[in-house]
Amino acid sequence: MRKLIWRNLLRNKVRTLLTVLSVAIALFLLTLLGGVYRALTAVGSENSAELLVARNAISLTFQLPEAYGQRLRSIEGVEEIVGTTWFQGVYKDTRPENMFPRFAADETLFEVYQEIEISDEHLQAWLAERDAFVAGRALAEKQGWEIGDRIQIQGDIYPVNLDLVLRGLFEWPGEEFQENLIYFHRRYLEEATGNPGIVGTYWMRLSSEDVAPQVIQTSEAMFENSAAQVRTETGEAFAASFTEMLGNVQFLFGAIGLGIVISILFITANTMAMAARERTTETAVLRTLGFQRPAVLGMVLGEALLVGGLGALLGVLGGSLALQGLGEAMQQFAPTFAAVRATPGILAGALGLGLVIGFASGIIPAVAQARASIVDGLRSVG
Amino acid sequence: MSDATPGSGAGAAAGGELAVEIHDLTKSYKRDRFDIKVLDGLSLAVRSGEFVALMGPSGSGKSTLLNLLAGVDRPTSGELRVAGQRVGGLSDRRLAEWRHRHIGFIFQFYNLIPVLTAYENVELPLTLERLSKAQRRVKVETALGVVGLGDRMRHYPRQLSGGQEQRVAIARAIVTDPTLLLADEPTGDLDATSAAEVLDLLVQLNQEFGKTILMVTHDPRAAERASRLLHLEKGKLVESEQEALGETAPSQPVGAREA
C-alpha cells in the first residue's frame, strides 16, 4: 500500500510538483514571518522597568546635546546614566557576516546595563584605554577575535575611521542576540570627530521603577523650551508601546499567515479531490479485490500527508536559510535582528502545519472515496 | 501451480457441489420516485467447475447479478450463497474479506492499476494476506506463468497490448485461488485474436484447473466457449442453458426445473 501511495504521488509529476511547491512557498513565508516576529518580540524583553531612555523628541535620527547628560543625571531617582551613539561604519567590507551594530558608549555603560555580565578584569581593561572596545562573546567567537586584537571601523555616517583594540568580552544571559555588537568609548568618537558634543540616546537606571513617572515628567519638562526637546520613556513603557505596536504587527502577521494557510489549503484540497476523483474506478477495483474502507482512506490521506509534509520540509528548509541570511544582513541596523532565525519551535510548528494542511486537504476526498459505492465506482469505467 | 494453482484450493471442482445458489433474488434501484426492479425473483444454481455464460440485452441485469455475486452490491431480497456462504448478511468488513478469499473479478476494461507493473498488479491482492515476499513471488510468478506473461512481469500496463493487459487482469483474479471467477465482458474491448486468446485462457482455467466461471458477454462466439449458457431478460432468466463444448448440461431453464 505504501508503494501505491508513493506511485500515485508520482503519477502526475507536474501536478504533484506544483502542489508541493505551493505548500512549500506557503510554509517558507510562514517560517519567515515566524522568525521575524520572534525577533521583533525579542526587542522588548531586555528592557527593565528600571531603565529609562531619553531621546530627541523628533525622532531617533536626531541627537541630543551632550550637556543634557549632566542635567538628566541630576534628576532625583536617576542612579546612573549612559550616553550611547550609533556609529554604523564598515568593518572590512559590507558582507553580511561583517555587519554588526557598533555603539559608542560612556564608561558608565555597565552600571546602567546591569543585565550585561563582564568580568572586572575585562571592564577595567576597557576603561583604561581610550581606543579599547568590548564585544559580545557571541560576536567575538563568530569573528574569531581574541583579546588584544585590533580592528578598524571605517566611518560612513561619521567621516572618521576608528582603530580599536579588543579589551573585553561581555555576555547577556538569555539574550544571546544582544551579544552581537560592540561598544567603544564615546569619548574617543567625540575626540575623533572634533568634539561636536552630541549623544544619540541617554539610558538612565532608576533607583526604583516607582520614580519613573516623575523622572519622565521632569526630564521632558526640563528641555521643553530647548531646541532639542526630549522624549523619555520607561523601559516598561517602551516595552508596552512596543508590544502595543506589535499588537498590530501580530494581527498583521497572523492575518497574512492565516490567509496563506487557507488559500494553500483550498489549492491542495482541490488537487487532492481531483486526484482522488480520477481514481474512483481504481479505488472500486481495490475494494473489489478485498481492500477495506480504512485502507482506501489511508491511501488518499497518506498521499495528502506526503504532499503536505514534503512541501513543509522544502518550505521550512528554504525559510530557515532565508532567515539566516536576513538575520545576518539586518543585524547591523539593530542587534535584535541577530535573533532572526528559525528556532526549533518555529520549524516544528511549520512542519506540523504542513501536515495539518495535508490532512485537512485529504480527509474529505479520502472519506468520500472510502464511503463510495463500489458499483458506482466500477460503473464509471469508460 | 502449487498453492496458487487454480483448482487446487477452494475453487476446485468437486463433482456436483454447488458453487453458487440463488433463490428468488430481487434487486431494485430507486431512481427519483421510481423503483426500478433490475432482478426479479431470479433463481439459479451453478455447480463447481462449471463455465457459465450469461447473455442478455443491455439493462437486463447481467452486471447487477455479477455485482451481487461478487459481493460488491447487496440484494433487495432473496438468498444468495457462494461456496455455501450466505453473502447478503455479511458486514462490510467481513464481506471485503470474503470477496478477497472467494471472488476473482475480471473486468471488461482490465482495470489494472497503471502505476504498478504487471507483477505488482498481480501481487496486489496478496498484500492482504500474511505472506512473505518470497511466498508472494512464487504465487505471482505462477499466475503470470499460467496466463503466459512470465516475461512481461516488469512491464507497466501502458507497455502491454489490450490482450496482455486482460491476461494480467486474469492473473490478478486467479492469484488468490478464488472459489468463483466472475468475468464482465472480458473480451468486449479486445480484437478478435486477443479475444480468442483470452477465451482460450478462460477455458483452460475451467477445464485444466477446474475453476468455476461466470461470464457476462454480448458476444455469441464468446458464449459458445462456455459449458452452459444463460439468458437474462428484464431481470428474469428466460432461457437458462445450452450445451456447449460438447458437455452435458441441463436442458431446462433453472427456474423451470426448480419449479
Which of B96, B113, B127 has the CB atom closest to A287's CB atom? B96
Buried b (16+ CB within 10 A) or exposed e, A85-102: bbbebbbeeeeeeebbbb
pLDDT at B2 over 60: no
Which residue is closest to A285 within chain B, CA to CA? B111
Same-domain pairing of A205 and A309: no
In a domain, B258, yes or no: no
Min Cα–Cα distance to chain B from A338, Å: 49
- Residue A207's domain comprises 63-227
pLDDT at B161 over 90: yes
Same-domain pairing of A30 and A67: no
In a domain, A261, yes or no: yes
In a domain, B73, yes or no: yes
Same-domain pairing of A147 and A84: yes
Kindly list the residues of chain A whose beta carbon comes within 8 Å of any beta carbon in chain B.
1, 3-4, 7-8, 10-11, 281-282, 284-293, 373-375, 378, 381-382
Same-domain pairing of A111 and A149: yes
Q: Report helix, strand or coil for A196.
A: coil
Q: Do A289 and B172 touch (CB under 8 A)?
A: yes
- Under 8 Å CB pairs connecting chains A and B tally to 67
Min Cα–Cα distance to chain B from A267, Å: 24
Min Cα–Cα distance to chain B from A24, Å: 26
Q: Which of A227, A257, A278 is the C-terminal boundary of a domain?
A: A227
Q: Is B125 on the interface with A (CB under 8 A)?
A: yes
The segments of chain A whose pLDDT lies below 50 read 43-46, 381-382
Q: Do B115 and A4 touch (CB under 8 A)?
A: yes
- Per DSSP bridges, beta strands B51-55 and B228-233 are parallel
Q: What is the pLDDT of residues B7-44, one digit of tens each?
A: 333 333 334 688 999 999 999 988 777 888 889 889 99
- Residue B21's domain comprises 10-248
Quick one: CA dihedral B10, B14, B17, B22, positive or negative?
positive
Quick one: CA dihedral B66, B71, B76, B80, positive or negative?
positive
Same-domain pairing of A27 and A118: no
- Give the count of beta carbons closer than 10 Å to the beta carbon of residue A41: 16
Which of A11, A287, A382 has the CB atom closest to B115's CB atom? A11
Q: What is the pLDDT of residues B84-107, one digit of tens each?
A: 888 888 899 999 999 999 999 999
Give CA separation, A363 vs A79, A295, A301, A310, A368, in Å.
63, 13, 6, 17, 8
Same-domain pairing of A193 and A280: no
Q: Which of A227, A258, A278 is the C-terminal boundary of a domain?
A: A227
pLDDT at B255 over 60: no
**Residue B140: CATH number of its domain:** 3.40.50.300
Q: What is the pLDDT of residues A44-55, one digit of tens each?
A: 444 566 888 898
Best of B91, B113, B121, B166 to mutate (most A CBs within 10 Å, chain A): B113
For residues A52 and A232, is the Cβ–Cβ distance under 8 A?
Answer: yes
In a domain, A197, yes or no: yes
Residue scoring higher pLDDT (B15 or B225): B225
In a domain, B102, yes or no: yes
- Give the count of beta carbons closer than 10 Å to the beta carbon of residue B166: 30
pLDDT given for residue A245 in this prediction:
57
Best of A10, A12, A289, A303 to mutate (most B CBs within 10 Å, chain B): A289
pLDDT at B148 over 80: yes
pLDDT given for residue A379 in this prediction:
79
Looking at residue B76, the DSSP 8-state letter turns out to be: S
In a domain, B257, yes or no: no
Which of A8, A292, A375 has the CB atom closest to B96's CB atom? A292
Best of A288, A293, A299, A374 to mutate (most B CBs within 10 Å, chain B): A288
Per-residue cell: A359: 490532512
DSSP string over A215-264: HHHHHHHHTTTSSS-EEEEEHHHHHHHHHHHHHHHHHHHHHHHHHHHHHH
Q: Which residues, at least 6 apart from A58, have a Cβ–Cβ distance to it below 8 Å? A: A229
In a domain, A239, yes or no: no
pLDDT given for residue A95 in this prediction:
80
Instruction: Look at residues A87, A109, A83 and name the one whose alpha carbon lies nearest to residue A332.
Output: A87
Residue scoring higher pLDDT (A330 or B75): B75
Q: Do B96 and A285 touch (CB under 8 A)?
A: no
pLDDT given for residue A241 in this prediction:
53
- In angstroms, the CA A213 to CA A202 distance is 16
Per-residue cell: A98: 561583517
Which of B99, B114, B128 has the CB atom closest to A288's CB atom? B99
Min Cα–Cα distance to chain A from B258, Å: 30
Q: What is the pLDDT of residues B178-189, one digit of tens each?
A: 999 999 999 988
In a domain, A314, yes or no: yes
pLDDT at B5 over 50: no
| pTM to 2 decimal places | 0.68
Q: Do A381 and B120 touch (CB under 8 A)?
A: no
Q: What is the pLDDT of residues A252-288, one digit of tens each?
A: 888 888 898 899 999 999 999 998 899 999 999 999 9
Same-domain pairing of A265 and A362: yes
pLDDT at B201 over 70: yes
Which of B93, B116, B125 has the CB atom closest to A289's CB atom? B125
Min Cα–Cα distance to chain A from B80, Å: 18
Domain tally, chain B: 1
Query: Chain-wide mean pLDDT for chain B?
Result: 84
Q: Do A286 and B97 touch (CB under 8 A)?
A: no
Min Cα–Cα distance to chain A from B2, Å: 21
In a domain, B184, yes or no: yes
- Per DSSP bridges, beta strands B180-184 and B103-106 are parallel
Which residue is closest to B91 within chain A, CA to CA? A292
In a domain, A254, yes or no: yes
For residues A353 and A64, is the Cβ–Cβ distance under 8 A?
Answer: no
In a domain, B255, yes or no: no
Q: Do B115 and A381 touch (CB under 8 A)?
A: no
Which residue is closest to A6 within chain B, CA to CA? B115
Per the document, the length of chain B is 259
Same-domain pairing of A214 and A276: no
pLDDT given for residue B203 in this prediction:
95
Same-domain pairing of A314 and A364: yes
List strand residue ranges (DSSP E) for chain A, in order: 51-56, 64-65, 78-86, 90-91, 102-105, 117-118, 132-136, 150-154, 162-171, 182-185, 198-199, 201-206, 230-234
- In angstroms, the CA A283 to CA A89 distance is 66
A chain contacts of residue B97, beta-carbon cutoff 8 Å = 290
CA of residue A200 relative to chain centroid, distance: 24
CA angle (B232, B233, B236) in 5-degree steps: 70
Q: Report helix, strand or coil for B231.
A: strand
Instruction: Look at residues A93, A110, A114 and name the one whose alpha carbon lies nearest to residue A168.
Output: A110
- In angstroms, the CA A215 to CA A224 distance is 14
- In angstroms, the CA A42 to CA A252 distance is 17
Same-domain pairing of A375 and A280: yes
Q: Do B113 and A1 touch (CB under 8 A)?
A: no
Same-domain pairing of A117 and A206: yes
